[in-house]
Amino acid sequence: MIFDIDMIREVYAQLPEKIATAKEKLGRPLTLTEKILFSHLSPGTSVKNYNRAADYVNFAPDRVAMQDATAQMALLQLMNSGRTSVAVPSTVHCDHLIQAYKNAETDLETANVTNREVFEFLRDVSNKYGIGFWKPGAGIIHQVVLENYAFPGGMMVGTDSHTPNAGGLGMIAIGVGGADAVDVMAGLPWELKMPKLIGVKLTGKMSGWTSAKDVILKVAGILTVKGGTNAIIEYFGEGAETLSATGKGTICNMGAEVGATTSIFPFDEKSAVYLEGTGRKEVADEARKIMEHLQPDAEVVANPEKYYDELIEINLSELEPHINGPFTPDAAYTISEFAEAVKQNNYPRQMEVGLIGSCTNSSYEDLTRAASIIREAKKDNLSVKARFIINPGSEQVRYTAERDGVLQEFEDVGAVIMANACGPCIGQWRRTEDKSERTNSIVTSFNRNFAKRNDGNPNTHAFVTSPELVAALTIAGDLCFNPLTDTLENEKGEQVKLAEPAGYEMPPQGFDVKDAGYMAPSEDGAQVQISIDPDSKRLQKLEPFAAWDGNDYTDLPLLIKVKGKCTTDHISMAGPWLRFRGHLDNISDNMLIGAVNAFNDKTNSVLDPDKMEYTEVPALARRFKAHGVGSIVVAEENYGEGSSREHAAMEPRHLNVKVILVKSFARIHETNLKKQGMLALTFVNKDDYNKVQERDKISITGLTGFAPEKNLVVKLVHPDGTTDSFEAAHTYNKQQIEWFKAGSALNSMKK
């Protein structure tokens, strides 16, 4: 089945002329990124040389994708938008709410019972508004999108930070919050800051233990977790043409870990083969006709330093396998460096669990390459020393891998096949070992490894690598094992070297599936009734946020001054809290409970200035709110790094936090704050962070003249009566200031 073929043909019919117009007006060759962006400008938006990382531009994406955890809030907002159906093709994918515990069948049955209310709500709203619905067990959103919806030259938004996975098929795919998705579903222009361009030139060809995952692990080490902020990473070069479509998807997927707006590869024959293999020959044929428009211009490839803001070159022939971590995805080590790093840093050397899956690495190719290592090790009488967990990426991948005996290879050595879902990657892992917060190490093929991310234990050292190295280290049970150089002792006492991985980019017998898990929406959505139990603990109708009262913020108490890294996992944890993603009040009880208080180095412990005792962050915010008092959060660099979850912005808004003042923001989170009517400010002088004291009263002045590129003033009144004042910057444009004044972007839309 080919979805949206008429829409794709329409995009392709217009693409050449739109690109020609852009090249003529700009007077220069174009990168692939520019071709897609300028061909997706919102009607009425002019083609011109926008200032990168500065100018806001309106776009018209082709489609929207939402996963179940974020779709709840997105659809609750859609219900308040006044729309009767979505303006662009949209889908919901049930992948985040399935907990990995025993095995696929048992866990899926449990999820369908425990999440019945939410799944039925998502299904019914999808039916009402013309949204395609992918049932629990159908697969992980980004793998399903790659198999069914991604197309070269297209543009989409998704309510998940790893939406860029679709860049593996040459699509501009951007992670957003639910309010942004509602804009697109409502047919409104969608606003994005014109991104900078980072070019990554790939030469050579990978071999042996090296995989596509190692490209992005190396790039993460180069750029760090904020080096890609407000930038699109565009890969090109002859090396790019040697990578499979799913391998390219892996690279684009994990570009979220460097803060990139998205990542993209050119369309090539590998892309066409994947489209054909997943039942989309018509799309491949149409794309081939306009291939020159789905690649950067030849002049760009010949002289990339002239067209990209930053250029990175990687020789795939020389690229070494990498392992990144723990606690941050940009701590990059080559496999030859890693053992020494483990010893020097005193990381727990015993590797306890190996996990293969997630939206990053759960393709047929990933599974077959890892399975080949397991198969050969078994032949050599090597046993597997660590626990082994596998999450296939989709029902199509799972069914085909089972048919071909791939899953049996894993099960033969004791691996557990979990549901086609995110599972441990998003914290949905009921880990059955000792429940204490003991120090231990796990190795995953996932994308993120923040503290508590996978199992809720802050002392679990999670390392991110390729499925191939996960398999090798699971066999060894030792983080210091290097499969490229080291041997293992088998059951006969012999020293054995692991065989190099070998797999299939595409199934030799083709893909197959009995029930992919798709449900088309009702043809008459007007007849569908949506009901939410007012006593529900899982779902809650949204009430509009209050508009700004027209005054400066004065004498706000400090809620928390955050020290160090503060990701969206710190602001609004996943794991067991996922069950409240459709209930704003209930989930607000997790607000900032993972953030470290700069004044006592503790989490979820802040000073109540009236009672002079420490209490939980949400409890203090609720007490302030009950007395009609707003509050302020102060934090450091890259605040809101990580997931696109807009709950990290909606919870402070709900609990009457007025201002988030930080050294710098992650892109998606800053946008989410603006959408919800929050005031997102940055220190002009980052040292001013040090001036904020625990019992300060904080005022923000200049709001009555709130205007683009005009700084506001922060005034601190310290407990001893002394004061400090300094400027704070912002990036609000005129439209975003209207969102602030209206109380939220949704309020502004309804007006």
Helix (H) or strand (E) holding 651: helix 647-654
Q: How many CB atoms lie within 10 A of CB 436?
A: 8
Q: How far apart are the first and last CA of the chain?
A: 40
Q: What's the angle, vertex CA 324, arms to CA 318 and CA 330, rounded to 5? A: 95
Tokens of 522: 């009702």
Helix (H) or strand (E) holding 133: strand 132-134
| Paired sense of beta strands 132-134 and 90-93, if any | parallel
**Residue 160 annotated as catalytic:** yes
Helices (H), 309-454: 335-344, 364-379, 395-403, 406-411
Catalytic residue among 362, 572, 588, 643: 643
Return the axis-axis angle of helices 467-476 and 364-379, rounded to nearest 10°: 30
- 8 phi and psi angles, rounded to 5 deg: -65, -40
Catalytic residue among 142, 375, 645, 730: 645
CA pair distance 83, 78, nearest whole angstrom: 7
CA pair distance 540, 527, nearest whole angstrom: 22
In a 3-state reduction of DSSP, which class is residue 264? strand
**Residue 643 annotated as catalytic:** yes
Tokens of 666: 């992650």
657: left (phi > 0), else alpha (psi -120 to 50), else beta?
beta
Tokens of 58: 């309106």
Contact assessment for residue 539 and residue 533, using Cβ atoms and an 8 Å cutoff: yes
Return the axis-axis angle of helices 116-129 and 68-79, rounded to nearest 10°: 50
DSSP 210-248: --HHHHHHHHHHHHTTTTTBTEEEEEESTTGGGS-HHHH
Beta-bridge mates of residue 234:
199, 264
Q: How many CB atoms lie within 10 A of CB 182?
A: 29
Catalytic residue among 68, 107, 160, 180: 160
Return the axis-axis angle of helices 212-223 and 245-253, rounded to nearest 10°: 20
Beta-bridge mates of residue 462:
442
CA pair distance 90, 127, nearest whole angstrom: 11
Catalytic residue among 123, 448, 461, 538: 448
191 closest CA partner among 87, 66, 36, 60: 60
In one letter, which amino acid is 369?
Answer: R
267 closest CA partner among 278, 283, 253: 283
Cis peptide before 321 (omega within 30 of 0): no
CA pair distance 37, 20, nearest whole angstrom: 13
Catalytic residue among 4, 62, 95, 696: 95
**Secondary structure, 3-state, 721-739:** CCEEEEEEECCCCHHHHHH
Contact assessment for residue 621 and residue 559, using Cβ atoms and an 8 Å cutoff: yes
DSSP assigned state of 578 = G
Cβ neighbours of residue 327 under 8 Å, at least 6 residues apart? 449, 450, 451, 461, 462
* Catalytic positions, written as ranges: 95-96, 160, 448, 643, 645
